[in-house]
Structures are given as structure tokens and as C-alpha cells.
A and B are shown apart, each in its own frame.
Chain A
Amino acid sequence: MNAHPQQRHLEESASFDAGVLEYIRQATQCGLYEIRGMGAKRRLPTFDDLVFLTASASRYPLEGYREQCSSRTVLGTRFAERPIELEIPVTIAGMSFGSLSASAKDALGRAASEMGTSTTTGDGGMTPEERRSSKTLVYQCLPSRYGFNPDDLRQADAVEIVIGQGAKPGGGGMLLGQKVSPRVAGMRTLPEGIDQRSACRHPDWTGPDDLAIKIQELREITDWEIPVYVKMGATRVFDDVKLAVKAGADVVVIDGMQGGTAATQHIYIEHAGIPTLAALPQAVAALEEMDMLGEVGLIISGGIRTGADVAKALALGADAVSIGQAALIALGCNNRCHHDGNDWVDVDDDYGQLETAPGFCHHCHSGRCPVGIATQDPDLERRLLPEVAAAWVKNYLQVLAMEVTTMARACGKSDVHHLEREDLVALTVESAAMAGVPLAGTSWIPGAD
């Protein structure tokens, strides 16, 4: 005799839970791995697992509303004649025209310029719109070299050699055919509408010894005027940073596994690289061992969301952070509505057509972005008004800057770059081990000698 339904206990398999079942079902139907945008969705140790030991009797705070706290940030002082000078330690990460609409790039540039910080090009070259709107623009040199040319290089404020990114370290770029519009195809010298999968290695150099010569070439072409950044996905961070420094980088950019992408294989996003929290102390340790901390700039990225994240990153030794997904969310990514200049317009149905919903969307790869950010469709792109969206991003950057200076003052610092590791403790054993700071309430740093 069957048990009454209300008494039946259904036990989900921990190994084969609903997500895994769906993964296998999808595989059986498609025969192709999942490709999607955004970053890792799994739960990871983050900066949330750290807290500040702000001032009390043993430390002297600054007045939060009266005393100045500098957030000025200078990057690329090692070799370049014209280092990058920023008003805030938050930069906009490289995101391509192609993955993003021209309007989105334009809006990011306007917001960054208003806040005195930099934006970065992406795989596909530099658009006139972003050059015009970005006071300080970092020009990426990627393995694909799409649209890469000496004229744009000379009008860049810095050049960033991209070895990898946190969402897909070891993998190449990807832009599916629905986003390879005539303009995108023209900039990349590709046939319109093809699925563009770019190389994961640079065409003209391979190992770190070659990288040194490549950096020298870029310096020669730009007459040693602009800084050379080297960006890497966070994997073997300690060794990689040392090699980049030895190769002559002015600035090293480390992108943790929470870093986003417009399109890549799910297996990269969730299963490659290490968390940003774990990567940053390794990068700092490498610079310290080479006695290059402060001489070679360090930018950390991958899942930076709040002023608290920024402050903690600086305290752990970063000179600046870079934001990508957070900047897109500030533009309206995953909003239920877009703004037409007068009013909000509900686009929930458009999310539904992508079989997702606001707050859950990672369909940048589809080119059908309901809010006009990650698309090349002219009708969809019109949903993002650069002047409106730029104001949102500017406000968001302003909040980040206000929060980090607020926290710095509370720690007794008159400069956000004076935040230090000693200001932090960890709430979990694993974050204490990764960050190299004591577990809260103890003097214990797991793994420390």
C-alpha cells in the first residue's frame, strides 16, 4: 500500500541535484556545451568575509564629514613618461564594442570621465565614440588583434596586453554571429554574422621572454610615453605576476574568477581560476618578493561591487580596482525596465523570450539584451540612452568613492591608499587563510609561518 503523499519524504541527491539534472538534460538535447555571459554564479569566498577594524581608543579616526581623504590614484610610474592619473581608485574594465553596444561604451566613457577615472577598450578595437567620451582610455592589445592599429595606439593613454581574463583564463574571446553586425564585422575584418571565436594566444609572441620583447616594441612605437599594463586571469598568480613584472609591465591587472564575460563556455566561468580574494594577496606577495610593491601598479578585478570591496582591495595591497559587471548593472543590466528619456518601460516579456527574468539574466551572448547594453540590434540599442545611463554610472562610481573614503577616514587614514592589511580581519577560516589576515577575535592567520 502506498504512503500518503503528505508523509512521503523526497530526498534530492546532493550529487545529482536539480541543476545537474538540467545540465545533463541540456547536453542530451543539444550536444554542445552551454555558452553564456556574466560571471561565476557559485558561492565563493569574497571580500564580504572580511571586516575592518576601524579606529577606537587604539587608533585615531578622521572626521567623516570635515577632514579630507584623498582618493587620487597614479598608475604606471615605472617606465612611462605619462603615467595615468585618476581621481578615484575605481576603473572601468575592458569590454568590447561588439559585446556591448556603442551606446553602452559611450555611457561608460562619459561617466568615467566625469568621475576622473579611466575606461578600457576590448576585443574589437577602439570606437570613435569611446575615445571621444573617455578622457582616459586604456587600449587593449588582445590575441585576436581585431581592429588593433598604430593610430589608435598612439591616441591611447595606456596599452593593456591581455593574456587572459578571470571568466575564462586560458580561453579565447567569443562573439556569436548574432552580434557580428556590419560595423562589428568591419572593425574586426571578419565576415558578417559568423560565430567569431578568437585565439587564446597572441600571434606574435608566446612565452614570458617574448613578452618582454613585445612590451619593448609597444614602448618603442609609443616612444615610451604611455604605461603598459599586463592583464591576466587569476590562476598561478604568484608566478604570473613575477613574470609580468620581469617582462617590464608598468601595471599588472589580475582578474579573479568572478570576473565577467559577454560569452564563454560555462565550464570556464564556474570551474577555472581562483577567487579574487585569493588572488590579490598572491599578487601582492609576488610584488613584495621582487621589491616592486608601489613601483609596479596593481589593479584587481572580478566581482568588485561595493565601496567596501574597493576599500578591502586597497587594504590588501591593490592600487586600484576595475569593475565590469557592476558597471553594466549600473547601466541597467538586469533591470526590469529601460528608460526612454521620459518614463520607465517594462521589458519583462523580453526577458521571458530569452527564458530568463530580470535579476537572473546572463544572456549577453544572445545579442537580445532587453535593456540595450549587450546588443548590436539597433532597435534594442535605442533602449539605452547614453546621457541617461551615464548619469547612473557616474552616481554609482560616486557612491563607491564616497564609501571607500568614509571607511578610510574611520580607519584614521587621510588617503585611501594608506589602508593596510592590518586594518582587516576575517570572519571565516578560509578567508583568513586566503587573505592572510587574522581570524576575527584571534591573532591566528591560517597557513602563516
Chain B
Amino acid sequence: MTASRDFDLAEMSVRELNEFLHRELPELVDVSQGASIHDDDPLTRINVFNPNGGHSIAAGLDCAVEVEIHGHAGYFIAGMNKQARVTVHGNVGWSVAENMMSGEVRVKGHASESAAASMHGGLAVIEGDASSRCGISLKGGRVVVAGNVGHFSAFMAQAGTMIVCGDAGANLGDSLYEAVIYVGGKIHGLGADAREEPMETSDVEAVRSLLSEADVEGDPETFRRVASARSLYHWNADAHQEY
């Protein structure tokens, strides 16, 4: 048996919710033992109602729990997440899953700017579109966008994988390091030092595997690979404004 608990942000503050998630919840969940340290059934699901565009909901989680946010939410949802699986049944503002370390964040609607910014690990899934700078400064993990992404997505992305099933805006992958981007739709322009590379069999399999993991539809054979040309890794005085 598992247990869930409901929280209504129309009747409590985000701060009160997060304090529960940080301080009390870990004691109510013990996945490794299959039971909580208390006699009750382990708490595995948190429902959050009436998010009403609130910011920082479920930020800083470090616990293997499912959090369902029912409605539209604001900035920094599930920021710096570890372990938790957070689902937003609506749209989100800026920087959802920023700096996520592990776990999963899923947005059933659209995401505003800087989705998965500086993410280190885990899986971020945007089932709608993501705005500009999606995956900016990415440091690891997997980002899957079922729709389109805006300009300067994956800017200075250092590591990890980003899949865009729709179109990508201008300056995709500007100043990329070792992150790899796969795009299923149209690319409206590559940024400095980003280049399109041949899709190898391993790339097709990587896309297939990641789409499956994210539960997002797409034909892996139609995707294109974008990675760094690595021509700006060292000072190049003749590169001028390319940096």
C-alpha cells in the first residue's frame, strides 16, 4: 500500500508546502525499505492543487516521491530537484527544473524561457513547446521537448542530451561544449561553433531510447544531430564576434 497527501495552495503558502517537502516528507518515505520509518504506509505521492502561477513550487526536493501539480505554475518549478518525479498538469513560467540533479520533471503543457537551465542530471520533459534558451548552460541529463524550442536554446550547453521533436529557433547550440542536440523539425539557424553532424546508428538508437523513456512520439530516423565544432575551445583572435 502507498499513501498520498493533498495540499491546496489556495489555503497555504508555497513556503509551508516546501518546508513540509524538505523537512517532514523524507521521514515519511523510505523507498529502499519499501516502508516509511513510521508505521504508516510510505508516502509516495503529493498532490498540489491551485498552484495559481506560484513560483518555486517543489523546489529543492531530495526525496523519491511523485509530486503532481494540478494547474499552471510560475518560475523555478522543481528547481534543483533530486530524486523526485514532478509533473505539472499545466504550463510553467521560466526556468522549470533549473539545476536539476536527478529525478524527472514533466510539463504537460508549455514551458517559458530557460527550461532545464544549467541542469546536471535527470530527465526533463516538456510535452508542449519550450521558449527561448531551453537547456541553456546544460551540464548533464536529458531534455526532451515534444514541441518547438525558441532561440538560443542549448546556449553554452556543456554536457547531456537535448531532443527537440519540433522546430528549433535561431542560434541553436551557440557556443556548445560537449552536449549533443537532436532536432526532428526545422532548424532556424545554428549558433557559433555549432554544426550539424551525420546521424550514426548509435545516434538513432539514442534518440529512440530517449523518446521511449520520455514517452514522447517521434521517428528517430528523421532527427538531425547538432554538436560542437570545437573551434572556439581555445582563443582564436581571428574569430572576432564569434565568441
Contacts and interface: CB of A to CB of B under 8 A. Distances in A.
Interface stretch (A93-101, A191-199, A269-277): A191-199
Interface string A195-229: 10101000111000010011011001111100000
Given A195-B233, A203-B137, A221 B60 contact: yes
Contacts of B238: 31
A194 B156 CA distance: 14
Which 4 pairs, one residue from A and one from B, show the smallest C-beta to C-beta distance? A221-B60, A204-B95, A217-B76, A204-B117
Contacts of A195: 233-235
A222 B158 CA distance: 26
A30 B62 CA distance: 50
Given A190-B177, A204-B94, A205-B95, A145 B60 contact: no
A191 B230 CA distance: 10
A177 B118 contact: no
Contacts of A31: 237-238
A238 interface: no
A229 to B, nearest CB: 18
B56 A145 contact: no
Given A199-B156, A203-B117, A205-B94, A217 B137 contact: no
B178 A191 contact: yes
Interface of A: 30-32, 144-145, 148-150, 153, 176-177, 188-191, 194-195, 197, 199, 203-205, 210, 213-214, 216-217, 220-224
B233 to A, nearest CB: 4
14 contacts: A145-B139, A149-B99, A150-B101, A188-B158, A189-B120, A191-B177, A194-B177, A203-B98, A203-B155, A213-B56, A213-B76, A217-B59, A220-B56, A220-B59
Given A203-B136, A217-B79, A220-B18, 7 more contacts: A145-B137, A150-B101, A189-B139, A190-B158, A195-B233, A221-B59, A224-B15
Interface of B: 14-15, 18-19, 22-23, 55-56, 59-60, 62, 74-76, 79-80, 82, 94-95, 98-99, 101, 114, 117-118, 120, 133, 136-137, 139-140, 155-156, 158-159, 177-178, 233-235, 237-238, 243
Contacts of B159: 189
Given A203-B137, A204-B76, A213 B55 contact: yes
A150 B82 contact: yes
Given A31-B237, A150-B60, A191-B178, A223 B118 contact: no
Contact of B80 (A144, A149, A176): A149
B30 to A, nearest CB: 20
A324 to B, nearest CB: 25
Nearest to B233: A194
Nearest to B140: A189
B98 A204 contact: yes
Given A204-B98, A204-B118, A223-B19, A153 B80 contact: yes
Contacts of B133: 203
A203 B62 contact: no
A23 B98 CA distance: 43
Contacts of A223: 18-19, 22-23
B137 A144 contact: yes
Contact of B120 (A149, A176, A197, A213): A149
Contacts of B233: 177, 191, 194-195
Nearest to A188: B158
Contacts of A222: 60
Contacts of A204: 76, 94-95, 98-99, 114, 117-118, 136
A209 to B, nearest CB: 10
B156 to A, nearest CB: 6
A194 B55 CA distance: 37
Contacts of B80: 149-150, 153, 221
Task: Pick the most buried of A197, A199, A221: most chain B CB atoms within 10 A of its CB.
Answer: A221
Contacts of B62: 150
Contacts of A150: 60, 62, 80, 82, 99, 101
Contacts of A177: 233-234
Contacts of B75: 205, 210, 213-214, 217
Contacts of A145: 99, 118, 137, 139
